[in-house]
Amino acid sequence: MQQPTPWIERTIWWQVYPLGFTAAFPPRPQPGRGLGHLIAWLDYARELGVNGLALGPIFAASSHGYDTLDHFQIDPRLGDQSDFDALVSACQQRGLRLMLDGVFNHVSRQHPWFQRALREGPEGRYAGFFALDWPNGQPRPRVFEGHGDLVALNHANPEVALYVQQVMDHWLNRGADAWRLDAAYAVPDAFWRSVLPELRQDHRDAWFVGEVIHGDYARRVEAGGLDSVTQYELWKSTWSALASRNFFELDWTLKRHNGFLDHFLPLTFIGNHDVTRLATAAGGDKAVLALAVLMTVGGVPSIYYGDERGFEARKENRPGGDDAVRPAFPATVAQLGAWGEPVYRAHQDLIGLRRRHPWLIRARSQPIDLTMTRYVYVVRGDGGELVVDLELEPSPQVEIRDSVGRSLYRWPRA
């Protein structure tokens, strides 16, 4: 088991998709506001209770950010390197750790190196940087999940590994604390195993989490030399159990989750930039129940911006289908409206409960009472114990009690 860096054990992330948050993508009537707009919201993040900022792509890209053009340059729609330095400084002043999104499985078809590879042919300088075949002398690149604009890198090429290592080293040196490795499931485990050890020598406190959706999480962590992976199983079973009124699904997942904790600390979440908002998928009246699960089970929690206000949006399988779940934030908190305040206060309360019980980072759960519409489980770890009582009938409600039965949190509030 990879020993995690100590600071991660008390970290709760606020995940932000910067291009959407700052109104830089998709194109809107107003120009993008840049990273300065994000800096203006850091106090809001602190008041929410988080102490980590997890960013989506910020590097120069063709459109949505996952089509990188230059990993060493900040996207001009967000600013430049001085703006990044200002963001790092602002985070450090507020005690916020910073995680960057590393898109290293693929790049934009317009990437200068890929365009040069097409011009120069199979013997050119950069042809070997890409998963690129030349049947009958014609280029045929491998693309990411059918997206023709996203051409895959050749992860068997040591020069690609060196390049990725240099990119991560550069931004760690400039103040990043962690990396989310996008589409890590599509990259050979051996690639991460070749890249990360040298980075760890120079950045012993850095944290590396791979985006993995399905499969054997523990094996991927071990084989790739990662610290963690994204716990998609918990996300899926949480909203699905609430939407379908079937807590047996969640119980099954929490049993598996206990096993993962024997090997690593998963990155847990109930919303992110790639999925339908929980309030839409499960129903807004059940959002706090999902949050209670997130804040009482083991792992490193992440909250997707807007979920703390009860935002609703549906991801759709079409061009632009992600845009609704990646919205712009206004200039001020007041412009968010008062309707999201109850959910926001619930986030503050449950994040506070998590912070008062830091042992929850490694807590294991055990069911006490389980029906389709009621789920009571106990979580234990390092001498601590809490009982979580989730009910869907006659209406959604949750109560969290300590080991002697005292109520620590109840929703809805009396």
- Reading the chain (414 residues) residue by residue, the pLDDT tens digits are 567 789 999 999 999 999 999 999 977 656 678 999 999 999 999 999 999 999 999 999 999 999 999 999 999 999 999 999 999 999 999 999 999 999 999 999 999 999 999 999 999 999 999 999 999 999 999 999 999 999 999 999 999 999 999 999 999 999 999 999 999 999 999 999 999 999 999 999 999 999 999 999 999 999 999 999 999 999 999 999 999 999 999 999 999 999 999 999 999 999 999 999 999 999 999 999 999 999 999 999 999 999 999 999 999 999 899 999 999 999 999 999 899 999 999 999 999 999 999 999 999 999 999 999 999 999 999 999 999 999 999 999 999 999 999 999 999 986
Length of the chain equals 414
| Tokens representing residue 182 in the block | 């996008």
Domain ranges for the chain? 6-363
Nearest-angstrom CA–CA distance, 175 and 285: 39
Amino acid at 230: T
Closest CA to 388 of 368, 414, 404, 361: 368
Nearest-angstrom CA–CA distance, 307 and 311: 5
- Give the DSSP letter string of 275-298: S--HHHHT-GGGHHHHHHHHHHSS
Contacts of 94 (CB under 8 A, 6+ apart): 42, 43, 45, 46
- Give the DSSP letter string of 31-66: PP--HHHHHTTHHHHHHHT--EEEE---EEESSSSS
What SS3 class is residue 361?
helix
Nearest-angstrom CA–CA distance, 187 and 191: 7
- Backbone torsions φ then ψ of 313, nearest 5 degrees: -175, 150
The strand pairing partners of 150, in sequence order, are: 108
Q: Which CATH superfamily is domain 6-363 in?
A: Glycosidases (3.20.20.80)
Nearest-angstrom CA–CA distance, 330 and 414: 32
Burial class, 411, CB count within 10 angstroms (exposed 0-12 / middle 13-18 / buried 19+): buried
CB atoms < 10 A from the CB of 49, how many?
19
Contact criterion met (CB below 8 Å) for 74 and 83: yes
